[in-house]
Amino acid sequence: MFWTVLGLLARLAVTARGLAFWRTSRPRRIVIIGEEMVQARRGEAARPPGLKNAPSPLPTDLHYDYWLGDLNLSDPVERPLDRELSALCQRFAASDLPTQSRLRDTASIDDFYTILSYGRRSAVFAMRDRRVERVRDGLTAIAIIELSRIDFRDALVALALLYHAAVTIGEQANELLQKAATLAEPKMSELIVGFLARSDDQRELHQWGYTVIETNRGVGLVGWDFQRYEPTCALHQIGLSLGKLVEQDKYGPARVALASQLPAIWLSLVDDNALRRALASVRGVATISAELRPEASQDFRSQTITMFLVEVDEEGAAESLLRLAREKQTRANSFSIAAAKQTRLFCLAIARSVVTGTASFETQTGLQRFAIGMAEILRNQVV
Tens of pLDDT along 79-88? 999 999 999 9
Residue-level pLDDT at 382:
67
Note the helical H segments in 97-185: 97-106, 109-129, 132-144, 152-168, 173-183
Considering the segment(s) 225-379 as one domain, its CATH architecture is 3-Layer(aba) Sandwich (3.40)
E-assigned strand segments in the chain: 210-215, 218-224, 255-258, 282-291, 303-312, 336-342, 345-353
Per-residue pLDDT at 381: 80
Q: pLDDT of 147-182, one tens digit each?
A: 999 999 999 999 999 999 999 999 999 999 999 999
Identify the band that residue 32 occupies on the pLDDT scale cut at 50, 70 and 90: low
Q: Which residues contact 153 (CB under 8 A, 6 or more apart)?
A: 15, 18, 19, 22, 36
Proportion of the chain above pLDDT 70, given as a percent: 91
Query: Cβ of 61: how many Cβ atoms within 10 Å?
Result: 7
Instruction: Note the pLDDT tens digit of each residue in 204-238.
Output: 999 999 999 999 889 999 999 999 999 999 999 99
CA distance 4 to 14: 15
**What pLDDT score was predicted for residue 98?**
97
Average pLDDT over residues 270-299: 97
- Cβ neighbors of 200 (< 8 A, separation 6 or more) are none
Q: Which residues contact 35 (CB under 8 A, 6 or more apart)?
A: none
Question: If residue 277 lies in a helix (H) or strand (E), which one and from where to where?
Answer: helix 272-280
- 100, 92 in Cβ contact below 8 A? yes
Would you say residue 354 has pLDDT above 50?
A: yes
pLDDT interval class at 22 (50, 70, 90): very low
Is pLDDT above 50 for 31?
Answer: no
Number of H helices, E strands in the chain: 16, 7
Residue 309, class by beta-carbon neighbours within 10 Å (0-12 exposed, 13-18 middle, 19+ buried)? buried
Predicted pLDDT at 33: 54
Listing from the earlier edge strand, what are the strands of the sheet with 345-353? 210-215, 218-224, 255-258, 282-291, 303-312, 345-353, 336-342
Task: Give CA–CA dist 286/44, Å, rounded.
Answer: 37
Span(s) in the chain for CATH 3.40.1000: 225-379
Q: What is the pLDDT of residue 6?
A: 41
The answer to whether residue 77 scores a pLDDT higher than 90 is yes
Amino acid sitting at position 157: V
